[in-house]
């Protein structure tokens, strides 16, 4: 059997994305859309009121039409957002952290990965090492409690939030 002759076709990213989106919509399980081929049949003439003007007949379409209301389209499950690997002590703190990250991204007008902010925070803490140690000497930390001892662990976290907050405020900016 002979090989098909190679034909160079220019890549159109907009058309390719439209095809991928169409394929996603059609292939979703439980999708509110039902793919139906558009019928090429002409409407039958009604014997009543032949004198009334008819709307112009459109060319038969060779596309797939989708049946679904706007409400069904908007209730479609959204694409799952990538979840960061770090999680807070409780869902409220996770929500608060997500809100903070969104506010930072809105102000920066670009995506700011969580890892970038954590590296920056670590570097800021390293530059404030002297101030952290000074704060720890004023108020020594307790031993790290077990993670299942929720009340003690929360107090331990609060201690470090307070120490680091004070130390970072006192630290000189990096030049």
3-state secondary structure the chain: CCCCCCCCCCCCHHHHHHHHHHHHHHHCCCCCCEEEECCCCCCCCCCCCCCCCCCCCCCCCCCEEEECCHHHHHCCCCCCCCCCCCCCCCHHHHHHHHHHHHHHHHHHCCCCCHHHHHHHHHHHHHHCHHHHHHHHHHCCCCCCCCCCCHHHHHHHHHHHHHHHHHHHHHCCCCC
43 part of a folded domain = no
Q: Are residues 154 and 109 in the same domain?
A: yes
Q: What pLDDT digit, counting tens, does each position of 86-109 carry?
A: 777 678 888 898 899 999 999 999
**More confident: 127 or 29:** 127
* Domain carrying residue 67: 9-37+57-76
Higher pLDDT, 65 or 109: 109
- Angle between helical axes of 129-138 and 114-127 (0-180°, round to 10): 70
Looking at the fold, whether 25 and 68 belong to one and the same domain comes out as yes
pTM here is 0.47
Which residue is associated with the tokens 């034909």? 7
Do residues 100 and 133 both lie within one domain?
yes
Q: Count structural domains, the chain.
A: 2
- 81 in a domain, yes or no? no
Residue, of 74 and 145, whose pLDDT is higher: 145
133/75: higher pLDDT: 133
Whether 159 is covered by a domain: the verdict is yes
**Of 58 and 136, the one with more pLDDT:** 136
pLDDT tens digit sequence for 14-39: 888 888 888 877 776 655 555 454 44
Report in angstroms the alpha-carbon separations of 116 from 22, 104, 110, 123: 35, 12, 13, 11
Q: Using the predicted structure, report yes or no on whether residue 78 has a pLDDT greater than 60.
A: no
**Residue 65 shares a structural domain with residue 123:** no
Which pLDDT belongs to residue 1?
Answer: 59
């Amino acid at each position: 059997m002979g090989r098909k002759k190679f034909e160079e076709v220019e890549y159109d990213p907009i058309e390719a994305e439209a095809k991928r989106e169409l394929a996603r919509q059609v292939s979703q399980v439980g999708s509110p859309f039902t793919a139906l081929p558009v019928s090429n049949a002409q409407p039958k003439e009604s014997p009543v009121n032949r004198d009334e003007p008819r709307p112009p007949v459109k060319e038969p379409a060779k596309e797939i039409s989708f049946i679904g209301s706007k409400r069904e389209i908007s209730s479609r499950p959204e694409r799952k957002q990538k979840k960061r690997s770090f999680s807070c002590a409780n869902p409220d703190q996770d929500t608060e952290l997500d809100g903070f990250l969104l506010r930072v991204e809105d102000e920066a007008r670009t995506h700011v990965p969580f890892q970038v902010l954590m590296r920056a925070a670590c570097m800021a803490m390293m530059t404030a090492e002297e101030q952290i140690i000074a704060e720890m000497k004023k108020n020594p930390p307790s031993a790290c409690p077990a993670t299942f001892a929720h009340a003690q662990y929360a107090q331990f976290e609060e201690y470090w939030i307070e120490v680091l907050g004070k130390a970072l405020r006192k630290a000189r900016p990096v030049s």
